[in-house]
């Protein structure tokens, strides 16, 4: 048995369990000034010295805009059954809201090719590259942006219907709101807690407005949203530390999942961040809680926390635990425990796809090969955690590796390598890593078993 293949009793052997890989537009496409693409907030942000490691930007990235055919061949060659990509809003619509045909044609060609290859397509409509002209009018702090998003989604639904199996409105609204407007680590780089809660409200409103639009324009597809989730564990058994861990999870998970699945914000959130209640208009929460066909879950690590002596929590990094190139702790049980917890908390929890999971490592090509043993073990253990959650009764339908290939890792630039395919940025050569070879081997074996 190789170091990846799941045990015989794993649910992963079921051929209905979708196994794919994910990417996002700004992280791989490059070609930021081509065919009428407008600037996004990430073009602006990454141009500011000190915002991104080594001054990297997504201007070229993996040059996927020009190399997409070879990249799809590579994906298909690995036998991956699903591909999760995102559309760059600034590529497909001009500032007046009119379609940009050249940009749209890029995604049409891509999606048609994926369909020809029999690959299931998951399309994220917003993976953080907001058109800069909307940020200039307040971005996600401006309620109007939610309505502009619905217009954009209307266009995408009409143009791309029939080529998309599953639409996700937003990727990780937590990151857009908290990292973008709360602590400024991501574009647009604002740092104000009150901004974060208001931006989150408008993001969720945008999602809720988009759902019926997608249902009308592309009835046959699945529709949902993707949330990143975080496991918080208490540093001690004290009531204060347990309460701190609870608050951590409210801030990371319930902030998004409660509005979507219960139609309310968790009150504990505003004990943690007093005075930050967003402006919510009548009817907003009903719009936000529009039923989901699926929930996408992105999971990476856990955070060990203690009470900060007040209403919040502080991180207490554990010594001697396994970590990735990001410094994130490898903690597969967190994924299983959170999934089971969600099933118990939300009676209307929709079917789940793990839309991202993976790790960064400092991979190198040696004699034409890339060996990434930590990633192989990471993936095996996280897939076992998914299997554990399925066996505990959680309806999980698939799993996407983050990421298909090394790419622009936001504020960390190109230094952090999350791909199962290595990218040499000086030549754009792709090299399939050992982890991808083993995933491909497993998928082949699964297909042969029928």
Chain residues in the site for ligand IFM (CB under 6 A): 24, 27, 172, 228, 298, 356, 402, 409, 418
Name the minimum Å distance from CB 413 to ligand IFM: 11
Beta strands in 35-90 (DSSP E): 82-86
Distance (Å) of CA 208 to CA 149, 158, 218, 290, 363: 10, 18, 16, 6, 40
Q: Is 254 within 8 Å of 266 (Cβ atoms)? A: yes
Name the minimum Å distance from CB 172 to ligand IFM: 6
Distance (Å) of CA 176 to CA 27, 83, 203, 268, 444: 15, 22, 8, 21, 37
257: nearest Cα among 215, 287, 278, 288: 288
Two tokens, residue 347: 């009676």
Q: Calculate the CA 210 to chain-centre distance.
A: 18
Name the minimum Å distance from CB 179 to ligand IFM: 10
- Among candidate residues 29, 81, 159, 172, the one labeled active-site is 172
Could you confirm whether 249 is annotated as catalytic? no
Q: Is 255 within 8 Å of 265 (Cβ atoms)? A: yes
CA 339 to CA 343: how far, in whole Å?
Answer: 6
Residue 58 or 259 with smaller CB distance to ligand IFM: 58
Look-up of token digits 């029928």: 450
Name the minimum Å distance from CB 141 to ligand IFM: 22
Helix (H) or strand (E) holding 160: helix 144-160
Residue 270 or 328 with smaller CB distance to ligand IFM: 328
User: Was 251 annotated as part of a binding site?
Assistant: no
Residue 172 or 249 with smaller CB distance to ligand IFM: 172
- Among candidate residues 356, 364, 445, 448, the one labeled active-site is 356
Residue 283 or 327 with smaller CB distance to ligand IFM: 327
CA 372 to CA 361: how far, in whole Å?
Answer: 8
| SS3 of the chain: helix, strand, coil, percent, to 5 | 45, 20, 40
User: Was 112 annotated as part of a binding site?
Assistant: no
Residue 329 or 409 with smaller CB distance to ligand IFM: 409
Could you confirm whether 437 is annotated as catalytic? no
CA 374 to CA 51: how far, in whole Å?
Answer: 29
User: Was 402 annotated as part of a binding site?
Assistant: yes
Two tokens, residue 294: 């699926």
Name the minimum Å distance from CB 229 to ligand IFM: 11
Residue 244 or 295 with smaller CB distance to ligand IFM: 295
Name the minimum Å distance from CB 298 to ligand IFM: 5
User: What is the number of residues in the chain?
Assistant: 450
Q: 222-234 and 166-171 as β-strands: parallel, antiparallel, unpaired?
A: parallel
141: nearest Cα among 204, 205, 200, 206: 200
| Beta bridge partners of residue 447, listed in sequence order | none
User: Was 409 annotated as part of a binding site?
Assistant: yes
Q: Residues comprising the binding site?
A: 27, 127, 171, 300, 402, 409-410
The catalytic site residues sit at 172, 356
> Where is the binding site for substrate, in residues?
27, 127, 171, 300, 402, 409-410
């Amino acid at each position: 048995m190789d170091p990846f293949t799941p045990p015989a009793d794993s649910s992963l052997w079921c051929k209905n369990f979708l196994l794919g890989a994910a990417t996002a537009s700004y992280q791989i496409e490059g070609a930021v000034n081509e065919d009428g693409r407008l600037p996004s907030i990430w073009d602006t942000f990454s141009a500011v010295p000190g915002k991104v490691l080594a001054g990297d930007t997504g201007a070229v990235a993996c040059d996927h805009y020009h190399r997409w055919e070879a990249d799809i061949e590579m994906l298909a060659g690995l036998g991956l059954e699903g591909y999760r990509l995102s559309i760059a809003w600034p590529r497909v619509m001009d500032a007046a809201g009119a379609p940009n045909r050249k940009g749209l044609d890029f995604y049409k060609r891509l999606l048609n090719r994926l369909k020809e290859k029999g690959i299931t397509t998951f399309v994220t409509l917003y993976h953080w590259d907001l058109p800069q002209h909307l940020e200039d009018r307040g971005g996600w702090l401006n309620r109007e942006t939610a309505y502009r998003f619905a217009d954009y989604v209307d266009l995408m639904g009409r143009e791309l219907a029939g080529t998309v199996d599953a639409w996700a409105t937003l990727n990780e609204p937590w990151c857009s709101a908290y990292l973008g407007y709360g602590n400024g680590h991501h574009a647009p780089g604002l740092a104000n807690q009150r901004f974060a809660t208001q931006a989150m409200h408008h993001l969720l409103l945008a999602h809720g407005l988009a759902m019926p639009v997608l249902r009308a324009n592309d009835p046959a597809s699945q529709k949902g949203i993707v949330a990143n989730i975080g496991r918080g564990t208490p540093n001690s058994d004290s009531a204060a530390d347990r309460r701190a861990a609870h608050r951590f999870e409210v801030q990371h998970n319930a902030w998004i999942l409660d509005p979507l699945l219960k139609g309310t914000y968790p009150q504990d959130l505003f004990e943690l961040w007093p005075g930050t209640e967003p402006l919510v208009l009548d009817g907003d929460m009903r719009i936000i809680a529009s039923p989901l066909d699926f929930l996408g879950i992105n999971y990476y690590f856990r955070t060990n926390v203690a009470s900060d002596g007040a209403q919040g929590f502080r991180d207490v990094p554990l010594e001697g635990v396994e970590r990735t190139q990001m410094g994130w702790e490898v903690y597969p049980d967190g994924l299983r425990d959170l999934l089971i917890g969600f099933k118990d908390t939300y009676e209307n929890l929709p079917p789940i796809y793990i839309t991202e999971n993976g790790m960064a490592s400092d991979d190198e090509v040696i004699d034409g090969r890339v060996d990434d043993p930590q990633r192989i073990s990471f993936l095996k253990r996280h897939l076992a955690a998914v299997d554990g959650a399925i066996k505990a009764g959680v309806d999980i339908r698939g799993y996407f590796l983050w990421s298909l290939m090394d790419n622009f890792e936001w504020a960390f630039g190109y230094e952090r390598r999350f791909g199962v395919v290595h990218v040499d940025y000086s030549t754009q050569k792709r090299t399939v890593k050992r982890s991808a070879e083993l995933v491909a081997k497993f998928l082949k074996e699964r297909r042969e078993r029928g």
